[in-house]
Structures are given as C-alpha cells and as structure tokens.
Amino acid sequence: MIAELITRSEPTLSFEFFPPKDETGEVVLWRSFDSLLELSPDFVSVTYGAGGSNQSKSLAVLGKMASRIPTIGHLTCVGATFASTRATISSFEDAGVAAILAIRGDAPKENPGALEQGELKTALELVQQVTEHSDMEVGVAAFPEIHPESADLAHDIKVLKFKQDAGAKYAFTQLFFKVDAYIDLVDAARKAGVTIPIVPGVMPISNAKGVLRMAELSGAEVPAELVAELHAATDDELARDIGMTYSIKFAKELLAAGAPGLHIFSLNHHRAAEELARGAFSRLSR
C-alpha cells in the first residue's frame, strides 16, 4: 500500500509522530494530528522508544491513527527476541497498521548494553522477520551522511541493497540538511542496484537551538552559513523565520531533485510541519 503511494507520479506528503509521555502530550499530539490531517497527507508514521519502552502507548496511537489514514509503525530490535518481534508484528497487524519501518534503533541511555542483549542485532534481521512471518510491507532507513558506525557511503549502500534483497520496499532517510547529500546517496544507491524509492526525512527548523542540538547528536551537518545566520539572530522569532525559510527552500530543492515525496518530522507539533508542507507543495498553497 505505501509503496504504491510512493511510486506514483505525484510526490507524497507524510508526517512522523511519536507516542506522548503524559496527558498534556496526548492533547498536543491529537490536536496536531487533526490539524495535519486537513492537508490530506498520504500516510503517517509512529515511532516507539528504544527497546520498545513505550510500545503499549505506540500501539494505542497506531491503532487510532490507522483507522483514519494509512499508518506505518516503527519496529526496532534493541533488546528484542525473535518471539517478541513476531508478537509485535502480529500486534501491528491486529491494529490495522499498513506497513512497518524496520530500524535497528539506539540503546536507551539507562541501558547502553541493550544492543548486545537481544537476539536480533540488525535492521536486516528485522526485515527478514517481517517478510517471513507476515504479509506486511516493510521499509527501512537510509543515511545521506553515512551511518555513525559505518566506514563510508559504499558500506551503507551495500547494507541498503541487502535490505532491499530481503524484501524492503522503500527507504526513509535520517535527519539531514544538505540537498547534495541526498543526491549523492540516491546516485550511489542506483549505481549499486538499489531500485526502491528513497524518501527524504525533513525536519522543519522552527526551534533553532533544539534542531541544532538534534543535528549534533545525530551527526547531521548543518550548512555553516545557516548556523552563522541562526546564531546571529537577535531573537527566537527571527531565528525561526531564518530556519523555516531555509527548510522550505531545502524541501523544494529535494522535490526538484526528484525526491518521491517528503516525510516531515512533526515532533507532534503542527504549526511548523504545516508551514513546511504548504511551502514545499504548490498544491497546498492557499
């Protein structure tokens, strides 16, 4: 279902959400979800914490969203057993989830050794579990600026090809801020025989300090000139304007470069996500 949407002629619009931690977050999530649904996105995705730490909440959110729009559930393997993974896949099916995004995930801060404790160690093994034990579509992650544990782009592309051969139907990129990084990733992938669509994940820069912190943690390189402009901004609102202007330009350039769609990281807030979507897609302009 998702693969069919992504491979159509018109670029797709989608949003990522995460399960709320408390009642206040729950209100914010559903208010944002309702607002962004007014843009008629093609699908949404829902994350869950390392080791499935908030999996029950994730499943509740997944089921509610899946009743209204095609929804992708994230699946990680940190600390997971084969049995628990198959149980989660079954739960996704029961919740009406349209597809799975199989990612290795990071170990939780309170248990840094979790990566070594589970039976599954890689996203590739997750893809194999999904394809062997269900009929659900499965997507994977791609890395425009190289996975932190990878030696080079060639290795990342080799892994992506393995995932495709195991049954992955599409890929979503991690956080990044340079169009050339996406173009280089896609070019290298195509030369290596990777044919699945690669959808860029885009973060609206509405909170400059927060986004720069996330970029640092993820290893994503922010253009030096943008960093200088953000640091020179005299107040938060000016920094927001600078960041959102860059984000919209970035998104438009990705679509112009042939991206099959945009997957916008909403952070459960609708204002910036909607602004980015409207700025990037002419069909949404008022």
What are the residue numbers of the active site? 16
Nearest to 269 by CA among 12, 33, 20: 33
Number of helices (H) and strands (E), helices first, in the chain? 12, 9
CA dihedral of residues 77, 102, 68, 57 (deg, nearest 10): 10
* Chain Cα centroid distance, residue 132: 24
Q: Which residues contact 254 (CB under 8 A, 6 or more apart)?
A: 179, 182, 200, 202, 262
Cα separation of 72 and 2, whole Å?
Answer: 8
CA dihedral of residues 23, 27, 30, 31 (deg, nearest 10): -170
Cα separation of 36 and 122, whole Å?
Answer: 33
**Residue 52 in tokens:** 């499935």
User: What phi, psi does 178 have (nearest 5°)?
Assistant: -125, 125
Matching residue, tokens 């990071």: 106
Cα separation of 31 and 150, whole Å?
Answer: 39
DSSP state string for 213-281: HHHHHHTPPPPHHHHHHHHH-SSHHHHHHHHHHHHHHHHHHHHHTT-SEEEEE-TT-HHHHHHHHHHH-
